[in-house]
Amino acid sequence: MLIKTRKEIPSSEITPESVYKARRQFLKTGANVALGAAGASLLSPTASAQVGDSLFARAPADINLASRPDWLVQKVAERKDAPATGSFNTDEELTPFSDVTTYNNFYEFGTGKEDPSNNASEFRIDPWSVEVAGECAKPGTYTLEDVLKPHTFEERVYRLRCVEAWSMVIPWIGIPMKDLLSRFEPNGNAQYVKFTTLVDRDQFPAQRSRFATIDWPYQEGLRMDEAMHPLTLMATGLYDDVLPAQNGAPLRLVVPWKYGFKSIKSIVKIEFTRDMPNNTWNDLQPREYGFYANVNPNVSHPRWSQASERRLPSSLFMPRRIDTMMFNGYEEVASLYEGMDLRRNY
């Protein structure tokens, strides 16, 4: 239906996969409370011994949102699980929930890594609308429910590589971007897709600051073939639940072979364009942040090497440095850039 509107992370243990899977199964049975004695009884003896220290033993209130529509919570609970093998999953250890949700770049909430989680507790996603515009047959302004309800949510366990040379492994929940964009019927003139973040100075403290260096709104873009690639995801949740505010609720782009700044958060506009759109960091520092932003260990940032990364959680005494993989390990996307100079088109 159309509507008319116009830090350094403290060292901690990685949660075992068995605990995560048990937690996921527990939620699917309809439980929506913190794991207590009854919840622990559903786990294996080993998992039960560990779950007391696990960050998955949490109440829904731990999701940093002032509004959580029941229909969205239900759709997240009914998602398809990640495949056992293949690029939509990985056997690498997951980054703990606490680190995924407290070590964030979301400049609308502040420039510190903990600012988003500290400043997002009153963020609301109900009501929410998304404007669709440009080179497509079905432009308009859609409610969040209209955007998401026709789709089955899927889980994808992806590596996330930040341009700052740290990385995580996150179980995202969302919609294949190809399925979402196809509903708006982009035409032959649509060569790119542009995404725009919400501007709301009441909810985003940095947007009302006189010292902000970013010209709001935050903007990002992809080539259409990148947006339509099977790996590209419109994320709606993570770790068995809806997206927390600091992670980009209610809609966040996830492109696992690109640096994390491409993963624009809290999206309110999708525009199909003929020309390459502006993106915020490329506008601010074009020598440091290219439009393509493909993970490439052979192309250094002007101020640091990209040959290795720090897998979180880490500390001075547990740095956990690993080699960076080309395209973040998602080599199947290489054909998208065949013949392109990836040093020049960084």
Q: Tell me what pLDDT residue 62 has.
A: 75
pLDDT, tens only, 197-232: 999 999 999 999 988 889 999 999 999 999 999 999
Q: Which two tokens stand for residue 137?
A: 């047959």
Instruction: Kindly state the helix (H) or strand (E) to which residue 182 belongs, with its residue range.
Output: helix 177-182
Q: Tell me what pLDDT residue 58 has.
A: 44
Q: What is the mean pLDDT of residues 28-36?
A: 34
Residue 122 has pLDDT above 80, yes or no: yes
CATH number listed for the domain at residues 63-337: 3.90.420.10
Percentage with pLDDT > 70 across the chain: 82
Measured between alpha carbons, how far is residue 144 from residues 4, 77, 119, 147, 249 in Å?
14, 17, 23, 5, 11
Task: Answer with the residue of higher pLDDT: 35 or 155.
Answer: 155
Burial code of 156-181, b = ≥16 C-beta within 10 A, e = fewer?
bbbbbbbbbbbbbbbbbbbbbbbebb
Residue 56 has pLDDT above 70, yes or no: no
Domain-wise residue ranges, the chain: 63-337
Among the residue ranges 54-63, 75-84, 121-130, 250-259, the one predicted with the least confidence is: 54-63
Q: pLDDT tier at 149 (50, 70, 90 boundaries)?
A: very high
Measured CA to CA, the distance from residue 300 to residue 42 in angstroms comes to 48
pLDDT, tens only, 308-332: 999 999 988 888 999 999 999 999 9
Main-chain phi, psi angles of 19, to 5 degrees: -70, -45
